[in-house]
Chains A and B, each alone.
Chain A
Amino acid sequence: KNQVEQSPQSLIILEGKNCTLQCNYTVSPFSNLRWYKQDTGRGPVSLTIMTFSENTKSNGRYTATLDADTKQSSLHITASQLSDSASYICVVTVNDMRFGAGTRLTVKP
C-alpha cells in the first residue's frame, strides 16, 4: 500500500476558481512534507516545504497546510490560472522521498 495517497486523481476547474488538493500519508514521523508542481515532460519543481511541526506554508497563490494529528496535508490554489495546469505531487521525506501518485489539474478558460 502506498504510504502517500493523493486525491482527487484528476481535477478540472475554470480559470479564476480556487481548488484544494489532498494528501494523506501514513509515514510518521517524517523530516518534511513537500508539494511539487510537474509540468508534462519536465522535472518536478518545489512549491512548498513544511517540517513536522509546521502547519501552514504559502508561496504566492499556493498555500499548503499540514495536520499531523490526522496525517493530512492539502494544497490550496487561489485564483487559478491556465498555467496552473500540471500535476501536483505530495512528497514525504523519511529516509528517502516517498511520492504520492499526484493530482492532474486542468484549468480551462
Chain B
Amino acid sequence: DGGITQSPKYLFRKEGQNVTLSCEQNLNHDAMYWYRQDPGQGLRLIYYSQIVNDFQKGDIAEGYSVSREKKESFPLTVTSAQKNPTAFYLCASGGVNRGNTEAFFGQGTRLTVV
C-alpha cells in the first residue's frame, strides 16, 4: 500500500537468534511505526519514530530494538530476549502530503520461530 515496503514477507528464526525486519518508505513521511499482530487480535505498538535519530517505545517494546538513521528506513530487530516472537509484524509510515495527512502500511512480515 502506498510506497512502503517490508521485507521479507516470511521469516523463520531459530530460538536464541536475533533477526532484523526491514521497512523502507519513499513517501517522505516523518513518522514510522512498528506493530505486532497475533492471531485473532488487534495491532499492538512496539516502537515509533517521529523524526530521524529519535524513536519512542510503544506498549510492547521489551525484546525489540529499532534504529532510525535515515528518514526512509526503520528496521526492527527481534532479539533473543523476546519470549514469544512468532507473530505478524506490520510497519507503517505517516505524514502530510499536499496538506492532507496520510498513513500507509506495509504488507507485513510473518515471523516464525522454529
A49 CB–B CB distance under 8 Å: yes
Residues 6-56 of A at the B interface (beta carbon under 8 Å): 6, 31-32, 34, 36, 41-46, 49
Grouping DSSP codes into helix (H, G, I), strand (E, B) and loop, the B interface class, with mixed when no group exceeds half, is strand
Q: A32-B101, A97-B103 are in contact. Are A45 and B1 (CB under 8 A)?
A: yes
B42 touches A42 (CB 8 A): no
Determine if A95 and B103 form an interchain contact, defined as CB atoms under 8 angstroms apart: no
Q: Is B90 an interface residue (CB 8 A)?
A: yes
The majority secondary structure among interface residues of chain A is strand
* A93: Cβ under 8 A from any B Cβ: yes
Q: Chain B interface: which size bin?
A: 20 to 34
CA distance A26 to B114 in the complex (A): 40
> Which B residues contact A (CB, under 8 angstroms)?
1, 6, 31, 33, 35, 40-45, 48, 50, 56, 58, 88, 90, 92, 94, 101-108, 110
Interfacial residues, chain A to chain B (CB-CB below 8 A):
6, 31-32, 34, 36, 41-46, 49, 89, 91, 93, 95-102, 104
Extra contacts besides A43-B90, A93-B103 (6): CB < 8 Å: A31-B101, A41-B108, A46-B1, A89-B42, A97-B45, A102-B42
5 contacts between A and B (CB under 8 A): A41-B88, A44-B1, A44-B105, A46-B102, A99-B44
The 10 A-B residue pairs with the shortest CB-CB distance in the complex, in nearest-first order: A101-B42, A43-B105, A99-B43, A96-B48, A43-B107, A102-B42, A44-B105, A43-B108, A43-B106, A99-B42
